[in-house]
Structures are given as C-alpha cells and as structure tokens.
Amino acid sequence: MEKNYKTFTMDLAGRTLRVDIGRVGKQANGCAFMQYGETTVLSTATASDKPREGIDFFPLSVEYEEKLYAVGKIPGGFNKREGKASENAVLTSRVIDRPMRPLFPKDYRNDVTLNNMVMSVDPACRPELVAMIGSAIATCISDIPFDGPCAMTQIGMIDGEFVVNPSQEQWKVGDLNLTVASTREKVIMIEAGANEIPEDKMLEAIYMAHEINQSLIAFIDDIVSQVGKEKHVYTSCAVPEEMFEAIKDIVSPEEMEEAVFTDEKQVREENIRKITEKLEEAFADNEEWLALLGEAVYQYQKKTVRKMILKDHKRPDGREITQIRPLAAEVDLIPRVHGSAMFTRGQTQICTVTTLAPLSEMQRIDGLDENEVNKRYMHHYNFPSYSVGETKPSRGPGRREIGHGALAERALVPVLPSEEEFPYAIRTVSETFESNGSTSQASICASTMSLMAAGVPIKKQVAGISCGLVTGETDEDYIVLTDIQGLEDFFGDMDFKVAGTHDGITAIQMDIKIHGLTRPIVEEAIRRTKEAREYILNEVMTPAIAEPRKEVGPYAPKIISIQIDPEKIGDVVGQRGKTINEIIARTGVKIDITDDGKVSICGTDSDMMNKAVEMVKIITTEFEEGQVFKGIVVSIKEFGAFIEFAPGKEGMVHISKISRERINRVEDVLTLGDKVTVVCLGKDKMGRLSFSMKDVAQSPR
C-alpha cells in the first residue's frame, strides 16, 4: 500500500521524535501521531463549527488518557476498563492547558477539545512530554485560530547536572522536575518541583529549556508550512466599542475606580452589583447589549484596575507594590487530631490537618509505570463554595483542587524525613476557610506548621507566596506585584507561585494570560518571591512554631520498628496468617512486615506494643538451652503438658520436669490456662522444644 501521509523527524535530546500527519484521525481538525523513542501518543485538536451560546469564556477542554495497555497491564477491579482520569492525568492536562489557553483568541467561543491518548510507554521517554508537544503540533496544523507555535521541554537534575527530557526513572529520583513552555520569544509556562534548588540555578534551567524549545518551534514551523491548514474565520464575541462608550457615559471611570478599590471583597462585589443593576436599567430595551453586559462590566473593571496599578502604582486594597497583606499563624486549632495549623493572609485563610498512619496506609497508584507506585505523603486541598461567599453543592475535588493539592505536596516532599527516620504514612488536608487569592501557597505554609505540630521531623520550614503582573503596551512597561489578591489575579497577567525554604526553591507554578514573559520579569518575580518567603518564615511561621515537636501527639499512633531475619518472616506470619493474626488479636496492635524483614508495630497502648515486640522476638529467636520463657498451659497429656510461649509456638514439659517432688498425675499440679515460667532444655528426640519448670531457679538466666 502506497504511503499517503507525511512523516517528520528530529533529534531531541539524543532520541528521535517522529510525527506522522495524515496517517490517522483525519476527521479531527488537527491530528499528530507522535512517537518519541517507543512512546506513542495520539494527539488531536477538534473545534465546534459554531460558538457556544450564553457563555462569556473560551470553552477549552484538554484531556490526557492513560491506556493501561500502553504498559502491558489490565485495569484492576471488576470493570476491567479504564475509569475516571488519574491524578497524574489531571495534572498533565492542566500543564498542557495553561500555556496553550492564552494563545487562542480571547473572543473565541467555539468549543475546542485537545485529546491525548497514550498508546505505548517507553520508560526512557516520558509520555506526558510527548502529549504536550503533540497538542501543540495538532493545534498548529489545524484550522483552529491559534497564535502558536509553542513548545515544551522538561529538565531534570542528577548529581548536580541538568538532564534534558529525563527518563521516567531520572524524573522520579532527580533533584529537579521542571517543565517549561515557550513561544518564539518568551516563556509562557513554568512548572517545577525541586530539592531546594537555588534561584540562580533554577533560572539557568528555565532558560536552558527555553533555548531547546526554539529548536522544537522551528520543527513545528516546518510541519505547518507543509501540511498546515488555513485558519478558519470565527464569530467574534468581543464587546462592541460603542457599548463601552455608552457604559462610560452612565458609569464614569472615577465611579468605577471608587467601586473596585477596596480591601473588602464583599464591599467590592456589592458595589459592582449596584453598577450592574444601574446598567441593566439603562439597557433594558437593548437585548443584544444586555446579553454582553456581564462581560462588559468585567472588562470595565479590568481596565480600571490595570490602569491604576500600571500608571499610578495604586493597588485595589491600598498596599504598596511589594507589600504583603496582614499575616497570622497558629497551631493546635483542632483538638484530638494528630496535628493542625491555620495560616491567614488578608482574606485568605487555610486550616491544614495532619494525620499519621502505618506505612501500610500508603496510597497505591496503578498507572503508566512499570511497577505499582506507593505514595507515602498525600496532600489534599479542598475549596468549598462558602470560602468565596457562594452556594453550590459539593461534587468532589475538581481539576483545580487536585492541581493545588499536588503543588503543595510537591513543595513539601523535599523536607520530609525518610521512612527510616519516621516510619509513618502522612496525609495533610488543607481546608479553605476563606479565599481571596493564592490559597495554594497559604496551604503550603499551613501544612508546614501542621506537620511540625504533629511531630513530623521535617528538615526545614517551607513557605509559599505568589506574584502577579500587569503589563502595558511594550515589554518594558510592566509592574510585578507581591502577594496578589483575587482581583489582581483575575484582572492581571500572571500568577507566579513559588514555594521554598530559606535555602532554595521546592516548587514553582506559573500561569499567565498573555503571550509570554521576558527574562527580566521572570527574574524579578523569583527575586520578589524569595524576599516575601523569607519574611513569612522569619516573622510569622517561626514565632508560631519554631521546630517540630519531639514526639507525636497522644492520639497519634506510635510505631516501633525492629529488624528480623527475612527467613523468619514465615514464622511470624504463620500458616495462612494464623500467627500474626493471633498477635494482633492479643495486643490490639497493627503489624506490617516488609520483604527485607523490617517489622513495624503500630498502636496507641505502649504496654501492648511492647508485648507484641516481645512476641515477635521470641518467635524469631533461635531457641537455645537455658532460655527462660513465660507461657500458658494449652494441652495436658499423661506424659506431660504443652506450653504455648508465643502465638503458634509450643514446647513440652515432661511430667518429670514439672515439680521437684514426684507427681503421679500432671493434673495434680497444672490445669489448662495456667501461666507458668519454663526454661528451655533444647529439643527432644521428636524435634520438639523441651521445657522444664523445676529447673527454672537453677537456670543462669
């Protein structure tokens, strides 16, 4: 069969990136069949013919589908089909969405779906990266209006050296997980998790990725020049200029400025509600304008806020450009939980609760990995409607909540103690009590203090802060804002979140609404967030709790870890788990045993935990003559009694070894259930442990 499609290839970080156009998915507006190494992803871009009516936003949907056949697995459970998107799939979708959304026209209202289906995974080539590049190519060659191309590169760090587009294993064990998206001139998205990387080193990595992105953009340009479609004409949903002029005649710029410039969110919303009602009355006979009124008022607010910040350096709540809102921190807010803390920044307030559990409670993730992945630390973030004064039913965490939780988790992982130092699974839950900007960074601060209050020996405190941006007509005309509130986020151009310790960055997430940032803006944002982070750590968090508590709280489980010979694991477990279950039943503890013989005993009663430890040690001890045990009479025979000295472990006391005086019947001295002390005499002819009661006093032990 004659080949009727085009193939494009390039060398990318020492591996071949191959793109087939026209081979599959021909009914999509754009389709790229991607291969990087042996990782295969089908990326498509599809748009509706007409705009969706009654909306004031661009309806973009980004999907990342993980097919388990890609790694030779059958899904678990009864259904045997892939279910809802995993957390990794949601996060990958967000990383693709964030840089691409600003490059679509702001007045475009046609539904657009970018779909990425992972069909095979080569551990050397991460499928997330292939999907990111594939979405950009599929959109660029389609007829969907898009101001591309854009490209993405990932940077890792192994032993202090940068690695371009690292493998799955390098990504997991390295000190840096950095994803950077770029246009021809500017950086448009940064996502990073890092092991306290210094600011200058992070900047070096960001702009290394930016340079590599330029070769990818040239590659995409070549593809578009050969197979790209002409962009289709669309119906603009922009607010007519004459409507803006009419609104200004009714509500003057001074009146709008007075309405929006307040530090009370509720007051501002009430002011805007009154203005909107006034305009609704004025345009009552103009149905076309009434349909656009919400968007028009939003744009009017936006222009007012941006003008005052950029030209007059005046912020809505009256703060200086570098000033952080009032801060407060406290611990032990919630009784009986294992740890709790609350962090408040202006009208943003987060309470984080920490829960500790045995390592067996780790989260098991069945995803596109060769092996099952265990997560020891879990951070979950909740954003209820009441936190912004709204009412709507809770439908579980959405993509935003999952993304914010993952960002905080990524920020805190580098400072957590090892399993050997602290053998617990750890979960922190951040509850948003009130929101007016940058709750994700407040959750990092609250979580740090909550972990310390719970007695988790974290290595250092971590704080997070966000910077915003308002730009003018040129690249040199801009203002970076420290600690943006909700209004500055909505109407500004950037939300640049950075978390870290005194010594370096642990996480970055940068979202923008414009076509990229120049290097001076990126450098200033990173510098500003470091200054703010230092202030929060020194002046707010340390006074609330200076170091982790020495012990876990009274309601938290205690864990004792001991090491046994791995060959003795079967003795502790017993046939069909009989022995270990008997220990658990007698002591009320929880026991976990790893393949290398590490035994973790978890409970809240110290005496019972010590009893369980003693039982495990007895079971795993090589029995020698002279050892003394305490046991219970479990069976009486004519020739002697059987003593259980540990769950599933018995030895026999011959009738002649029960008493120093001659006895005729065992029952004359012992009854079932008696507690006795015995000394080991070794093994009898039948290989059974032989005990003596009468020789206990003579035993050197």
Is 148 in the same domain as 66? Answer: yes
Is residue 593 domain-resident?
Answer: yes
Q: Considering 262, 280, 312, which residue would you say is the last residue of a domain?
A: 312
Per-residue pLDDT, averaged over 357-382, amounts to 84
Cβ pair 342, 408 in contact under 8 A? no
| Most confident of the following: 212-216, 258-262, 512-516, 696-700 | 212-216
Residue 595 CB coordination number (10 Å):
7
Is 539 in the same domain as 414? Answer: yes
Is 656 in the same domain as 571? Answer: no
pLDDT surpasses 90 at 35: yes
Is 208 in the same domain as 341? Answer: no
Q: Which candidate, 66, 661, 602, places its Cα nearest to that of 358?
A: 602
Is 284 in the same domain as 352? Answer: no
Q: Which residues contact 61 (CB under 8 A, 6 or more apart)?
A: 111, 112, 113, 114
Is residue 533 domain-resident?
Answer: yes
Q: Considering 619, 646, 662, which residue would you say is the last residue of a domain?
A: 619
Q: List helix spans (H) across 428-518.
A: 439-453, 486-491
- Alpha-carbon distance of 574 to 647, in angstroms, equals 9
| Most confident of the following: 512-516, 546-550, 603-607 | 546-550
Q: Give phi and psi for 448, each to the nearest 5.
A: -55, -50
pLDDT surpasses 50 at 168: yes
pLDDT surpasses 50 at 701: no
Is 449 in the same domain as 368? Answer: yes
Cβ pair 333, 341 in contact under 8 A? yes
Is residue 321 domain-resident?
Answer: no
**Domain of residue 646, residue span:** 628-692
Q: How many residues does this entry show for the chain?
A: 701
Instruction: Give 569's Cβ-side CA count (13 Å radius).
Output: 13
pLDDT surpasses 80 at 263: no
Where is pLDDT greater, at 413 or 577? Answer: 413
Is 333 in the same domain as 475? Answer: yes
Is 338 in the same domain as 468? Answer: yes
- H or E segment at 268? helix 265-282
Is 421 in the same domain as 440? Answer: yes
pLDDT digits (tens, 9 = 90+) for 476-533: 899 999 999 988 888 899 999 999 999 999 999 998 989 899 999 999 999 999 999 9
pLDDT surpasses 70 at 698: no
Residue 78 CB coordination number (10 Å):
6
pLDDT band at 700 (very low <50, low <70, confident <90, very high): very low
Total of domains in the chain: 5
Is residue 143 domain-resident?
Answer: yes
Is 383 in the same domain as 279? Answer: no
**Neighbouring-strand partners of residue 110:** 51
Is 250 in the same domain as 354? Answer: no
pLDDT surpasses 50 at 36: yes
Q: Considering 286, 312, 338, which residue would you say is the last residue of a domain?
A: 312
pLDDT surpasses 80 at 77: no
**What CA–CA distances, in Å, run from 459 to 94, 452, 475?**
30, 10, 40
**What CA–CA distances, in Å, run from 47 to 31, 50, 224, 231, 246?**
12, 9, 18, 12, 34
**What CA–CA distances, in Å, run from 599 to 15, 62, 421, 619?**
44, 45, 14, 13
pLDDT surpasses 50 at 279: yes
The model's pTM is: 0.86
| Most confident of the following: 267-271, 476-480, 634-638 | 476-480
Is residue 662 domain-resident?
Answer: yes
Is 614 in the same domain as 633? Answer: no
Is residue 204 domain-resident?
Answer: yes
Residue 274 CB coordination number (10 Å):
11
